Amino acid sequence: MELEQNNNRGLVFNIQRYSLHDGPGIRTTMFFKGCFLNCKWCANPESIEPHPEIMTYDMKCIKCGACIMACPTEAIAIVDNMRVIDRSKCNLCMECASVCPAGAIEKTGKYLSEEEALKEIEKDALFYKNSDGGVTFSGGEPLVQWQFVLDLAKQCKTKNISTALDTTGHIKWEVLENILEYIDLVLYDIKHLDPIKHIEGTGVNNELILDNFIKTANKTRTWLRVPIIPDYNDSLPFIQKLGEFVKDSSVEKISLLPYHTWGEHKYERVGCTYTLKGIESLLPESLEPQKQILESYGLAATIGW
């Protein structure tokens, strides 16, 4: 999966200001659309596809019919007093979102020029300066749009803005290595060490991810982040293997992120099914044994961000 690389245009679905969990200090996190992985537990399903989409908010719908009239493919109807969208007919023209008076259908994903993106980042420059913060490129997977991210990171460095990259590392090393020249901190995600389990949970093999992690941690300041998913990678034997894999790298710290269901409600809104429905969130304190195992390897470990 890859957007057409255009130096002057990036597809962003959210800009989060005053972020305290995506690197040191106060940060602006810019979320890029598109992802190489399709993790079953993803909290941002609207981030996966590399193109704008429609998101629905059924509670806001006033059943006015404006979207029905605007839809050129007749994909929208009122059924049992509910607005229903046949997404197999939808051509993503966004006409429904543009005419909805209640905001019950919205477009997710906005194209920004390099200048527009930099302007958004610079709005918070005073916060960066006073807190040793900066900008974090996140997603989705920002490296789906690697050329835009590279050029934007270069511009940030000319403005003395600290840069962080939140990535799975699932990309050719030659591309990642080039980008790392303009990145101060990498937030690197590892989901599983076993290739079969990794495919089961994310849809892709992890060979490239694991290989790039070692290279990245030995080149750039790196924090490892591991989402802990029940009955997937929460076992103590897995954590022991993770400790063995990471211990000789130059990673600065490991964050164990307890599984949560905060993004579950979004799946229906983008026309997807949440396949982990019914699995309960993990309490942070339940991961204390995993944390202690990592610490036994001499690694700095935290639960949560």
Q: Using an 8 Å Cβ cutoff, are 11 and 47 in contact?
A: no
Question: Pick from 65, 82, 108: which residue ends a domain?
Answer: 108
In a domain, 79, yes or no: yes
- pLDDT per position as a tens digit, 248-291: 999 999 999 999 999 999 999 999 999 999 999 999 999 999 99
Residues of the domain holding 97: 53-108
Tell whether the model's pLDDT for residue 178 goes beyond 90: yes
The residues, ordered by sequence, that sit 6+ positions from 277 with a Cβ below 8 Å of its Cβ are: 264
In a domain, 70, yes or no: yes
Question: Residue 186 and residue 116: Cα distance in Å, rounded?
Answer: 24
Its pTM stands at 0.95
- Shared-domain flag, residues 127 and 163: yes
Quick one: pLDDT at residue 7? 55
- Shared-domain flag, residues 118 and 200: yes
Tell whether the model's pLDDT for residue 2 goes beyond 80: no
- Shared-domain flag, residues 254 and 288: yes
- Shared-domain flag, residues 69 and 182: no
In a domain, 4, yes or no: no
- Shared-domain flag, residues 182 and 86: no
Quick one: pLDDT at residue 150? 98
Average pLDDT estimate for 83-101: 96
Question: Residue 95 and residue 91: Cα distance in Å, rounded?
Answer: 10
- For residue 173, what are its two tokens? 């090393």
Tell whether the model's pLDDT for residue 80 goes beyond 70: yes
Find where tokens 């599984």 sit.
259
Nearest to 291 by CA among 267, 269, 258, 248: 258
- Shared-domain flag, residues 199 and 82: no
Question: Residue 141 and residue 29: Cα distance in Å, rounded?
Answer: 13
- For residue 129, what are its two tokens? 């300066």
In a domain, 130, yes or no: yes
Give the count of domains, the chain.
2
Which residues, listed in sequence order, are joined to residue 135 by a DSSP beta bridge?
28, 163
Distance of CA 82 to the CA centre of its chain: 31
| pLDDT averaged over every residue in the chain | 96
- Shared-domain flag, residues 220 and 101: no
In a domain, 88, yes or no: yes
E strand spans, 109-252: 110-112, 134-138, 162-167, 185-189, 222-228
Say which CATH number the domain at 61 has. 3.30.70.20
Q: Using an 8 Å Cβ cutoff, are 114 and 17 in contact?
A: no
- Shared-domain flag, residues 73 and 205: no
- Shared-domain flag, residues 103 and 173: no
Q: Using an 8 Å Cβ cutoff, are 163 and 151 in contact?
A: no
Question: Pick from 81, 108, 135: which residue ends a domain?
Answer: 108
Average pLDDT estimate for 107-119: 97
- Shared-domain flag, residues 97 and 236: no
Q: Using an 8 Å Cβ cutoff, are 53 and 91 in contact?
A: no
Quick one: pLDDT at residue 1? 52
Distance of CA 54 to the CA centre of its chain: 18
Nearest to 27 by CA among 145, 163, 156, 155: 163
Average pLDDT estimate for 82-99: 96
